[in-house]
Structure 1
Amino acid sequence: MNYFILSQDERIHNAIEPISVSQVITRERLEEEQLRNMDKLILEFSVKEKTTTEYVDFIQRPIPLLSDNCKRIMEKYAPKMYFKSVVLVDRKKRRQDPYWLIAPPRISCLSSESEFHKNNTLKRLVIHEEKAAPYKIFRIDGILEDYIIISLDVAESLLRRGFTGIRLKKIEKESVYER
């Protein structure tokens, strides 16, 4: 099976940008043991004012957010994954849009063939396919980067529907040598 890093398409310069998110949601809060503490929170964030704003289907930073339609697709492939409702508000334009915070599980599937820079950031990502195989959407345990990884069938499903703001980068799989 092939896997891809899901990221926001940086070529869309006028993409919606939520602000003041990191004051409410920290990286630690997105870890599995902390997620349920957010269930009672009502998450509403203002967006950066721009003359024109494109409401993309995937926002990568400061937290991973999916549009309502994109969430429906992802939920079909990972029904037990954590989703939390978030409202993005453009007060000047009097507009509110529903988005979904996602927190895929962290999977220990990093291959020993992966390479790192001296500061422990990834130079070359390689995953162990057998360990990743049961999961359609996940994050990788043991790396500083907070990549969201999706399987080929999820990627194809997203691409067929023409979602905007999404980029996919193929991930290397561990080499299998005959013994």
Structure 2
Amino acid sequence: MEYFRLRQDKDYLNAPIILDVIKQIQRRYVTPEDADKIAEITVFKLANHDKLDSLDLLDRQLFLLSRLLKDTVKLYVPKLVCKKVLLLNSAKKVQLLYYLPIFPGVDCISDQSIMTPDKSVVKKLVLKRAEIPKQAVFKVRHSHETIIIARLDAAESMMRRRFRGIKMHRVELE
């Protein structure tokens, strides 16, 4: 089976940038055990942009999905818990609704993965085949990055729907 890492396409230079993320949602609470510490709806201010690209996936500050992408992921993970995130820029009269998926983390990073010296960024991701769950979309446990993986069937489903702003990188397995 093949697996792909879901990432925001960095070619879109005008992606939404959220202000003051840490003040409202701490990354350590984005787990099923601590999901109740995150409000059902969180409102964030957007940085001022003259032009804003509407993307289906954001991963710079938080891993966020558009409604359509969330619905597609839920086809493969029906019990996925998501919290609403509203991005606002009142000066530009812009309002964007996204969803914060709360996946359990799976400890499946191989020692063959290449990371920065402080282990905060995974440069080359290699997964342990034996530790990969049967779930079609899952989160790899990592303390600094949100790493979401899609099995081939789920990745193909997303590609067929032509979502905007998603890059998929094939993941090596050991």
TM-score (norm 1): 0.87
Instruction: Return the letter of the residue paired with 1:72.
Output: D
Structure 1 counterpart of 2:58: 59
Quick check: 1:16–1:47 contact (8 Å CA) kept in 2? yes
- Shift of the 123–48 alpha-carbon distance from structure 1 to 2, 3 Å rule, reads closer
User: Does residue 166 of structure 2 align to residue 166 of structure 1?
Assistant: yes
After TM superposition, the structure 1 = structure 2 runs for residues 135-154 of structure 1, keeping only pairs within 5 Å, are 135-141=135-141, 144-154=144-154
TM-score (norm 2): 0.89
User: Secondary structure of 2:109's match?
Assistant: coil
- Shift of the 108–48 alpha-carbon distance from structure 1 to 2, 3 Å rule, reads same
- Shift of the 145–89 alpha-carbon distance from structure 1 to 2, 3 Å rule, reads closer
User: Does residue 5 of structure 2 align to residue 11 of structure 1?
Assistant: no
Structure 1 counterpart of 2:29: 29
Instruction: Return the letter of the residue paired with 1:164.
Output: R
Structure 1 counterpart of 2:93: 94
- Shift of the 124–53 alpha-carbon distance from structure 1 to 2, 3 Å rule, reads closer
Quick check: 2:31–2:103 contact (8 Å CA) kept in 1? no
Q: Which runs of 5+ in 1 are unaligned?
A: 175-179
Q: Which runs of 4+ in 1 moved over 4 A?
A: none
Structure 2 counterpart of 1:177: none
Instruction: Return the letter of the residue paired with 2:145.
Output: E
State the distance in 1 between where 2:87 and 2:143 align.
30
User: Secondary structure of 2:4's match?
Assistant: strand
- Shift of the 94–2 alpha-carbon distance from structure 1 to 2, 3 Å rule, reads same
Q: Which of the pair has more CA radius of gyration?
A: 1
State the distance in 1 between where 2:66 and 2:142 align.
28
State the distance in 1 between where 2:165 and 2:123 align.
24
Q: C-alpha displacement at 1:112, in angstroms?
A: 3.9
CA RMSD between the two structures? 1.9
Residues 8-37 of structure 1 show CA distances to partners (whole Å, capped at 9, x for unaligned) of 111100112222222111111113321122
State the distance in 1 between where 2:60 and 2:142 align.
20
Quick check: 2:40–2:83 contact (8 Å CA) kept in 1? no
- Which range moved further: 148-157 or 113-122? 113-122
Quick check: 1:89–1:97 contact (8 Å CA) kept in 2? yes
Between the two proteins, what is the percent identity of the paired residues? 31
